[in-house]
Chain A
């Protein structure tokens, strides 16, 4: 069992410090905005990694939780004009409710049911958003949300702090007895069951945790964009998150967060490629599956810091 060594903590502090200070050097709202999106993707990727990376149950519809969190914020803020601070906790609660809805019937089963059900549920919810356009605003979605914090730079720092808390909390959980059990489930579910571990319970609770953080990220995203629209539920969002985790190194959590930040920056640089962007993304995924099945960021970091451990 690998523990967190001082070098990991030092590395984490340096990365967070660089990210926090980055907007000071090139003071532009554009850069701050991009970095905010980077941090939000970091929350989504690390929350995906916590459930699917540790238990090995691939969640192909993380956008379901992201979208429900964001739409909760959308309804609360734009229709019922509630305070933006209420939408964060409620976004978490609603996302967790959806995770129970999908997780309860599917996670007690073996086989691909969970992956299929998550993919279907997110696709169907996106469709429902379009069908019930009277309530959800259809293609255009809901807009006119209130910002959480007016100053974009302060909002960026707030999101970055939440990302740091997310990564620390999930890493500690993953290193705990609890995380060990999740890893054991990934290794051999039948043996775990034979050892008297309530496998289903652990899987469902870890999905709830994952969904909660994803919903939080969704609500943060909604209050950054100040609008929500059906593409938040799309398969593309889910697959983007999964690619980030794969690049980061599955099951490492911090790797997923770093990869999310780097890939979002890269995407921003590739904006010139327009519609070819997603192509480049899927191609990256195929190449990684074939040549780097363990990912890039986490193995690289481990090798670089080997002698300091």
Chain B
């Protein structure tokens, strides 16, 4: 029972880090970023290259990997997405093309075999009789801290207020003197950075390989649809729901069936309440 509670929390935290970035860039810039999964994969690979190949100490490598991927996200938004922003379809196509290009680039450079990243924390901890690796616990703690920090940033700072303003009405925000394009870049950096951080944190205990980004991205879609497109609290609630129901399914039935949970959640949500749990606008 406690095991479900802890492991569910860990996977919820990782899902939340992925989903929040995805929903943020959609809510603010109306960019549906199909390359979101490749940020996650790039984060994991950057951690691998920095630690295993270049021998950079872990606690420098992790933030560095996040920064590199955030920079990649900003460049992608500026040079590939922004010129095509007038057409929603073109944005979908270009981000999908980027995700495939990244996957292929990783495949060509590193091959398809699994890579290993050393653990940040080697110790195992025991909470109430449940053994959990320090790395998983670190992922949980970091996830909660990042989400908390993001919430404070958006609610309490001037820049956060500007982001909120742009998400509510980009044109009005521009008239008020908010540089919308710069806000888009910042939000893209945050979105890519959180996804990369999730990738860095899971890299020691999940397999690092070129296609690792696709399935987490599908989960992020599911979470964002269940929680409501563009709503950050909604996607956090949905991450908890999905993370826990997957863990419960894995324990009670079999881990094979976990993949179906997100599919069922999406179908049920779209049937009953298409705008999601906390969607601001009806999707009809």
Residues of B within 8 A of A9 (CB): none
User: Quick check: is A300 within 8 A (CB to CB) of the other chain?
Assistant: no
Question: Judging by beta carbons under 8 Å apart, are B100 and A236 in contact?
Answer: yes
Which chain A residues border B56 with CB–CB below 8 Å?
none
Q: What is the CB-to-nearest-CB distance from A231 to chain B, in angstroms, rounded to a whole number?
A: 11
A229 to chain B, nearest CB (A): 15
Selected from B84, B97, B104, B263, the residue in CB contact (under 8 A) with A275 is B104
Binds A, one of B12-20, B160-168, B186-194, B254-262: B254-262
B229 touches A279 (CB 8 A): no
Whether the pair A279, B222 counts as a contact (CB closer than 8 A) is no
Tally A residues with Cβ within 8 Å of B.
Answer: 39
Q: Are A117 and B93 in contact (CB under 8 A)?
A: no
Residues 106-162 of A at the B interface (beta carbon under 8 Å)? 106, 108-113, 115-117, 119-121, 123-124, 127-128, 131-132
Residues of A within 8 A of B80 (CB): 286
A289 touches B256 (CB 8 A): no
Cβ-defined contact, A120 with B221, below 8 A: yes
Which residues on B sit within 8 Å (CB–CB) of A56? 89
- Known contacts being A120-B218, A282-B104, A289-B84, is A113 close to B270, with CB within 8 Å? yes
Kindly report which residue of chain B lies nearest to residue A112, judged by CB atoms: B32
Per-residue A-contact encoding for B93-110, CB less than 8 Å = 1, 0 else: 110110011001101100
Hey, which chain A residues are within 8 Å of B89, CB to CB?
A: 56, 58
**Contact assessment for A123 and B214 in the assembled complex, using a CB-CB cutoff below 8 Å:** yes
Tell me the bound Cα distance from A228 to B50 in angstroms: 39
The chain A residue sitting closest to B269, CB to CB, is A105
Cβ-defined contact, A105 with B271, below 8 A: yes
Residues of chain B within 8 A (CB-CB) of A131 are 256, 259
Please pick, from B214, B229, B263, B267, the residue contacting A111 in the complex, using a CB distance under 8 A. B229
Residues on B with beta carbons closer than 8 Å to the beta carbon of A235: 96, 100, 214
Task: Say whether B259 contacts A116, CB under 8 Å.
Answer: no
> Once the chains are docked, how many angstroms separate the CA of A123 from the CA of B262?
12
Q: Is A293 positioned at the interface, with any CB of B under 8 Å from its CB?
A: yes
Please tell me if the beta carbons of B101 and A282 are within 8 angstroms of each other in the complex.
Answer: yes
Q: Is B121 an interface residue (CB 8 A)?
A: no
CB contacts (< 8 Å) of B105 on chain A: these are: 279
Q: Which residue of B lies closest to A236 (CB)?
A: B100
Is A71 an interface residue when CB atoms closer than 8 A count as contact?
Answer: no
Assess whether B83 is in contact with A282, with CB atoms less than 8 Å apart.
Answer: no
Chain B, interface SS category: helix
Output the least CB separation between A139 and chain B (Å).
12
Q: Tell me the minimal C-beta distance from B105 to chain A in angstroms.
A: 7
Q: What A residues does B100 contact at CB under 8 A?
A: 235-236, 239, 278, 282
Residues of A within 8 A of B159 (CB): none
A278 near B104 (CB under 8 angstroms)? Answer: yes
B267 — which chain A residues lie within 8 A by C-beta? 105
Q: In the complex the two chains form, what is the Cα distance from A262 to B80 in whole Å?
A: 27
A278 CA to B218 CA, complexed, in Å: 22
**B204 interface residue per 8 A CB criterion:** no
In the complex, what distance in Å separates the CA atom of A110 from the CA atom of B104?
Answer: 32
A285 within 8 A of B: yes
CA distance A115 to B256 in the complex (A): 25
What is the bound-complex CA distance between A164 and B246, given in angstroms? Answer: 47
B94 touches A279 (CB 8 A): no
CA distance A290 to B96 in the complex (A): 15
B96 pairs with A116, CB closer than 8 A: no
A127 to chain B, nearest CB (A): 5
Q: Are A58 and B97 in contact (CB under 8 A)?
A: no
Could you tell me the distance in whole angstroms from the C-beta of B99 to the nearest C-beta in chain A? Answer: 8
Hey, which chain B residues are within 8 Å of A124, CB to CB?
A: 218, 259-260, 262-263
Say yes or no: is A242 at the interface (Cβ < 8 Å to chain B). Answer: yes
User: Whole-angstrom distance between the alpha carbons of A246 and B101 in the complex?
Assistant: 18
Contacts of A213 in B (CB 8 A): none
B266 touches A60 (CB 8 A): no
| A33-63 at interface with B (beta carbon < 8 Å) | 56, 58, 60
| Bound complex: CA A289 to CA B215 (Å) | 26
In whole angstroms, what is the CA distance A283 to B90 when docked?
A: 14
Contacts of B225 in A (CB 8 A): 113, 116
Say whether A289 contacts B88, CB under 8 Å: no
Which residues of B are found within 8 Å of A116, using beta-carbon distances? 32, 221, 225
Complexed CA–CA distance, A283 and B88 (Å): 20
Contact A113 B92 (CB under 8 A): no
With A128-B259, A275-B104 in contact, do A120 and B222 touch (Cβ < 8 Å)?
A: yes
Complex Cα spacing A109 to B281, Å: 12
Cβ of B284 < 8 Å from any Cβ of A?
yes
Chain B min CB distance to A109 (Å): 5
- B283 contacts A111, C-beta separation under 8 Å: yes
CB <8 Å contact, A113 and B274: yes
Q: List 22 A-B contacts (CB under 8 A).
A: A60-B92, A106-B270, A108-B284, A110-B283, A112-B229, A115-B32, A115-B92, A119-B221, A120-B222, A131-B256, A235-B100, A236-B100, A242-B93, A276-B108, A278-B100, A278-B104, A279-B105, A285-B93, A286-B97, A290-B83, A290-B84, A293-B90
5 A-B pairs besides A60-B92, A113-B270 with CB distance below 8 A are A110-B283, A111-B229, A112-B32, A119-B218, A275-B104
